Amino acid sequence: MRPIGIFDSGIGGLTVARAIARRLPHEQLIYFGDTAHLPYGDKSADAIRYYALKIVKYLLEQQCKMIVIACNSASTAAYGVLLEFFKEQALFVNVVDPLVEAAAAEPFGKLGLIATKATVNSGVYEQQLYRLRPDLPLHTLATPLLAPMIEEGFVEGKISTAILENYLNDPRLQGIDGLLLACTHYPLIRPQIEAFYQGRVKVLDSTDVVARVVEKQLIQHNLLAAQLSAPHRFYVSDYTPSFEAATRLFYGESVQLDYLPIW
């Protein structure tokens, strides 16, 4: 009956949290959006590791049985160190491995990936994909304006379309037949990305694939909750109207949103 802890720099991880809540309605979620440090994608790996350690320490104090790192920048920079420090205390799920596995199972010939600078510079996706599909070239592009744009609520309209088209027209992404959205903010603009490609490119994100892995791991460890024990809780390290709007939109009435000054 213990909760699942989920964190991201902001509203992006809510896309993963929503997929988990839909798949596993009996699980209580405690979500932490580190809005005081957003965007993570422009920070150094050391800074992201420091934030992640502190957030996870807090979530473990709340008795979480599992931690979902619902952020690619944190998954690529901090998954190893989190396991090193805390693997005895909870199960850990990152958002990279499930997406790589899903991509490797598709008959793609040329795969593209868009993500933050931190994720692209880490090279983790190339490494992980190479282990499963050495034949499949991965063409990565850092798209650093997208996460802040989404956080500010620009998901439709002239500004977001211009920024998105500029990125997707980049020569590095030409001729792809699959595209990985390797940032948990990007499912919020997935319809715009799909509209740009008009069916020519299959788009994959880490929402449902991560929810499936969460379920599998809980079953394997006999940790599934039988019923919802308490309402979900949502915390932010700095108040932002977009976080509040997105949380209420995703989870309806019963949302408790609190400011948590852990820094």
Binding residues for ligand DGL, rule: CB under 6 A, are: 8-10, 12, 38-41, 71-73, 116, 119, 147, 183-185
CB of residue 192 vs ligand DGL: minimum separation in angstroms?
17
Q: Which of 29, 183, 193, 246 is catalytic?
A: 183
CB of residue 40 vs ligand DGL: minimum separation in angstroms?
4
**CA-based nearest residue to 141, from 193, 106, 188:** 193
Active site (annotated) includes residue 183: yes
CB of residue 135 vs ligand DGL: minimum separation in angstroms?
27
* Nearer Cβ to ligand DGL (147/180): 147
* Nearer Cβ to ligand DGL (28/184): 184
CB of residue 31 vs ligand DGL: minimum separation in angstroms?
13
Q: Which of 4, 30, 68, 71 is catalytic?
A: 71
Active site (annotated) includes residue 64: no
- The amino acid sitting at 56 is V
Angstrom distance (rounded) from CA 104 to CA 98: 10
Angstrom distance (rounded) from CA 218 to CA 121: 32
- Which residue's structure tokens are 């996870």? 56
* Nearer Cβ to ligand DGL (1/144): 144
Q: Which SS3 state, helix, strand or coil, does residue 138 take?
A: strand
Angstrom distance (rounded) from CA 119 to CA 143: 10
CB of residue 183 vs ligand DGL: minimum separation in angstroms?
4
Q: Which residues does residue 33 pair with via DSSP β-bridges, in sequence order?
A: 8, 236
> Residue 107 — φ and ψ, nearest 5°?
-80, 50
* Nearer Cβ to ligand DGL (30/183): 183
* Nearer Cβ to ligand DGL (163/225): 163
CB of residue 21 vs ligand DGL: minimum separation in angstroms?
18
- The amino acid sitting at 206 is S
Cβ neighbours, 10 Å, residue 202: 16
Sheet holding 91-94, edge to edge: 91-94, 66-69, 4-8, 29-33, 233-236, 256-259
* Nearer Cβ to ligand DGL (59/183): 183
Q: Which SS3 state, helix, strand or coil, does residue 146 take?
A: helix
Kindly list the distances between the CA atom of residue 23 and the CA atoms of 15, 31, 152, 176, in Å, as whole numbers in the listed order: 13, 16, 28, 31
**Catalytic residue list:** 71, 183
